[in-house]
A and B are shown apart, each in its own frame.
Chain A
Amino acid sequence: MMRNPYKYILLFTLCLISSFAIKAHPIKITTGKLVVDSDSKSCELTLNFFADDFESTLQKEFPQLPFNYNDPSDEMKSTIDNYVVSQVSVSIDEVVVVFTLKTIALIEDNVCQVTFTGNLAAIDQFETLTIKNTLLFDAFDKQSNILHLYFNGDKVEILQFYPTIPVRKQSLE
């Protein structure tokens, strides 16, 4: 059956491929929404995580009791707040937005949602937005983060962040 030497090369190549390419689709993703309002000079950042991925990553870094989403402890709030603020940053025309943790909730079976509010009082012009989003990049190789951006009620863009592209710039004009 295998008299042609090319067949051996073909067989070898495909065996090689079959020994490496064995991964099914890992789903490592976070989603979010950033709503910026220049009239009220405020913004809201909503982030959604797979609760198991999120909790296991944070528990590794900050060991504590399992998260209780119905009644978040101060330690849990502080852990999530510190982690998100260290991984996500937003600046509008070079002015960094300071976020304050607003809510933590389990919105679906395995989906944790956290919301932050930001005060934009110090910002006069709304021309360019720079966002860094490295959530869970340290934990998972295949992690990517999606962020829906709204400005003054209109959807501007859907931004995607990868370990190779952790920062995005977006014009608001």
Chain B
Amino acid sequence: MDQFLFYLRQGVDHITDLQGVDHLVFIVTLCAVYQLSQWRQILILITAFTIGHTVTLALAGLNIIPVNQQLVETLIPITILLTSIYNIGNKTAQKRKVHLNYFLALAFGLIHGMGFSNFFRSMMMGISDESIVFPLFSFNLGIELGQVFIVSIFLVINWLLTRIFAIQHRDWNLVVSGAGGGIALTMIINALV
């Protein structure tokens, strides 16, 4: 149980870490186009992202696929930037474009999973005499919990601003996506320089 909680906490801490905001910014940008009333679509979107990152986290965590850390660190902000551009171009979640959103979440999830695996593999470096399946499961579950926490907080803020302060959802999306894009650009420059 202690081990389970240890790796679970590592997963939660990793995705909610304010000193390393790449995954957090991606999730926030991904959800920027949605409102609280569209929670079913958000659930599908987050599930698609989860499926994507779970696949590559498991494959890389179990050493089935190799991961180029430098490349992944560059690709992650690119996924944020592309999501942000997509959001600014679309402004609101239109039904006909929702399926493309799910596909993007799934595809980008594959890249973020490799990022998670970099951290997971670092935690397990040199600890070769025990099975990593259980730690991997616990860590991934922690990431899911952290993800649900981020989305919940984000949607509550979204609801408060749009309902109480009468900010249009369209403006909210533009501002959040713009900020996400700005952060992503800075990260890309940092990764390349």
Interface residues of A (CB under 8 A from B): 1-2, 4, 6-7, 10-11, 14-15, 17-19, 21-27, 29, 31-33, 46-48, 50, 107-108, 111, 113, 142, 146, 148, 155, 157-158, 160
A157 CA / B6 CA spacing, docked (Å): 9
> With the chains together, A33 CA to B166 CA distance in Å?
55
**How many contacts between A and B, using CB within 8 angstroms?**
104
* Chain A residues in 8 Å Cβ range of B130: 155
B132 at the interface (CB under 8 A from A): no
Contact check, B20 vs A24: say whether CB atoms are below 8 A apart: yes
Chain A's nearest CB lies how many Å from the CB of B181?
Answer: 9
Q: Contacts A7-B171, A23-B20, A24-B191 given: A113-B165 contact, CB under 8 Å?
A: no
With A10-B167, A148-B127 as contacts: A26 and B183 at CB distance below 8 Å: no
Bound Cα distance A108, B176 (Å): 41
Q: In the complex the two chains form, what is the Cα distance from A81 to B2 in whole Å?
A: 32
**Least distance between A93 CB and chain B CB atoms (Å):** 22
- The size of the chain B interface, using a CB distance under 8 A, is 43
Residues on B lying within 8 angstroms of A by beta carbon are: 2-3, 6, 14, 17-23, 25, 73, 76-77, 115, 118-119, 122-127, 130, 161, 165-168, 171-172, 175-176, 178-180, 182-183, 186-187, 190-191
Q: Judge whether B171 and A107 touch: CB under 8 Å.
A: no
